[in-house]
Structure 1
Amino acid sequence: MVDFWDEVLGFCHVITAEVGDYLIAKLGTVAGEEKSDGSLVTECDQWSDDRIRDAIRQQFPSHGVLSEETEHLFPDNDWCWIIDPIDGTTNFTRGLPLWGISLGLLYKGVPVFGYVLIPMIKQSFYGYWTGDSGLDMPTGAYCNGNAIRVSTDATSGNHFFNLCARSIQVLQTPVPAKIRMLGVATYNVLTVAMGAALGGVEATPKIWDIAAVWAIVQAAGATWKPLETQPIFPLQVGRDYGGRSFPTLVVARPDLLPVFEPLVQCIVR
């Protein structure tokens, strides 16, 4: 299995670099159209989605694919890739440098590997999360090839907690940290994995927003807390995940759950 994981990592390096270079050349020059959920889509999202799906078909023909812009039904394949071709499309259309390309690899409906490239700031994150899969595979989480871990710091006014645009009602209650809003769901929680933030919340992430980072942040030692009672994974074969949101809290350590979880419950009431 080691050769397989080398192939997976190498594939992600190459395809995200190619797509990232293309998107950098288009940054801030394309207009977006609003989708039914209020998010934006551009011709670049569609190009990126098509290019990545085509590359997966060529490299891993037995693998299934679920992507934001094309296929929302979870397929009947042991291995499945979940693609977010541009995470942070609004940032991208406005010419802001913070947006990413996200690839999650699932085994029997559960993410075991994730890869996220943030092209403009040259940060590539990846991680392996064995969980209960029983797979013989590497372990750990990395940024630009260097191992990353969550922060061990106590809360303070000089530490960060990240919100998304749909969770600002959290601010009705004092938060024991500085608030940041990054506009990119994956990067929101990846900052927890790399030790830059103590936690982050996403009120309405779709499955393509969380599949890759599910593996990365847990491999870095973070605690993932779904804010609804139903478990997120394993995904169910044949289910349409296009309109389903998964409210999520991620914190650096379990002892931070009682600090931040009461503050974010308002987003699912």
Structure 2
Amino acid sequence: MSDANARPPAARPQDSTDTPSDALVALAERLADAGRQTARHHFRTPVAVDDKPDASPVTVADREAESAMRRIIEETHPEHGIVGEEHGTVRAGAENVWVLDPIDGTKQFISGKPTFGCLVALVHRDRPVLGVIDMPAIQERWVGAAGRTTLFADAHGEMPAQTRACPSLDAATLCATSPGMFAQAEENAAFERLRQHAKLTLYGGDCHNYGLLAAGYLDLVCEAGMSYYDFAALVPVIEGAGGVITDWQGRPLGPDSDGRVLAAGDPALHAQALEQVAT
């Protein structure tokens, strides 16, 4: 998105050891391609739905997509670790760890809605340095890497992604996947404080919200109950587009984060939102 309200992309400075190579960026896109192909193959077909122990749904598409991505990693970088939503963790102590969510938004997927995504992250020494948000059904993709500007690609081509300026909560569009994700009383109260100050609040979207924030169409995303594989890929995408993404205390997101995520396109807006949700 490029208009008078767009913010110039501004990735934060990185150490050279934290900057992914072109080959790793290409590999991340290859993994997302594999996830997209599998998801599209099964989308809007009669797939069986199983319930996990936490009652969240899972399908053959989730499992096959992650298996395809894991095979590529094992073939290309068997020394790298993998954290996957469906098939667990291997080599968790590796310097470089891939964090995979093959279908983010399985409820959307099984309902025939196109706003599910595939998330691919590379974490270097517990810091997310490379992330892909891929939307298989609508064929949109954001690629963020430390030290680089986030790129957005769709059927029309590829362009830099830029967050938009919005320094005031009363002018902000706020998104969350569901009001039900704020399961704890203090989470619900914190989100309600934030919602009351925002201009507009929308629900739904899953990982697509973060891509839209990076592209300058949304201003805030506030969520809770997220797992590592839900947010690791989002960090480089948001930061590389000029935004800020942290937990509700303003701390960097990592493997030990509590699952509460606050992303903003404008750093000044992020600071204001933190005042409402920090506990």
- Please indicate the TM-score interval, normalised by the length of the shorter structure: 0.7 to 0.9
The equivalent residue for 2:274 is 261
- Paired residues, number: 249
**1:196 corresponds to which residue?**
217
* Conserved 8 A contact 1:114-1:214: yes
Q: CA separation in 1, counterparts of 2:169 and 2:228?
A: 32
Pick closer, same or farther for the CA change 1:9–1:230 going to 2, 3 Å.
closer
Q: Is the 8 A contact 1:53 1:65 kept in 2?
A: yes
Letter paired with 2:237 = I
Which residue pairs with 1:93 in the alignment? 110
CA gap of 1:16–1:225, structure 2 versus 1, over 3 A, is closer
Matched-pair contact (CA < 8 Å) for 2:99–2:120: yes
- 1:210-246, Cα deviation, whole Å (9 max, x unpaired): 111111101111112312587543x4xxxxx7xx742
Counterpart secondary structure, 2:123: strand
Q: Which residue of 2 aligns with 1:224?
A: 245
In structure 2, relative to structure 1, the CA distance for the partners of 1:183 and 1:150 (3 Å cut) is closer
Aligned to 1:135: none
In 1: Cα distance, 2:54 partner to 2:258 partner: 10
Residues 167-182 of structure 1: matches in 2 within 5 Å?
167=182, 169=188, 170-171=191-192, 174-182=196-204
In the alignment, the residues of structure 2 paired with residue 62 and residue 207 of structure 1 have an alpha-carbon distance, to the nearest angstrom, of 21
Q: Which amino acid is the alignment partner of residue 231 of structure 2?
A: I
Is 1:20 the counterpart of 2:20? The answer is no
The one-character-per-residue Cα deviations of 1:83-125 (angstroms, maximum 9, x if unpaired) are: 0010010000011011111110111121111112101111111
Which among 133, 140, 145 is matched to residue 123 of structure 1? 140
Counterpart contact for 1:192–1:198, Cα < 8 Å: yes
For residues 6-33 of structure 1, the C-alpha deviation after alignment (integer angstroms, 9 at most, x for no partner) is 2223223333223312311311332322
Mapped contact 2:132–2:143 kept (Cα < 8 A): yes
TM-score (norm 2): 0.79
- Matches of 1:13 and 1:215 in 2, distance apart? 14
Q: When the two structures are superposed, what TM-score results if normalisation uses the length of structure 1?
A: 0.82
Does the 8 Å contact 2:167/2:268 carry over to 1? no
Q: 1:104 aligns with which of 107, 121, 127?
A: 121
Percent sequence identity is 20
Aligned-pair Cα RMSD in Å: 2.8
User: Which amino acid in structure 2 is aligned with residue 12 of structure 1?
Assistant: A
Counterpart residue identity of residue 174, structure 1: Q
CA distance in 2, matches of 1:95, 1:107: 35
| Alignment gaps of 5+ in structure 2 | 1-15
- Name the amino acid aligned to 1:247: R
Classify the secondary structure of the residue corresponding to 1:54. helix
How far apart in 1 are the matches of 2:273 and 2:252? Answer: 20
Whether the 8 Å CA contact 2:246–2:252 is kept in 1: the answer is no
Is 1:210 the equivalent of 2:231?
A: yes
**Unmatched 5+ stretches in structure 1:** 131-138, 236-240
Deviations 1:235-263, CA, capped at 9 Å, x for gaps: 4xxxxx7xx74201111122113432344
Tell me whether 1:10 sits opposite 2:10 in the alignment.
no
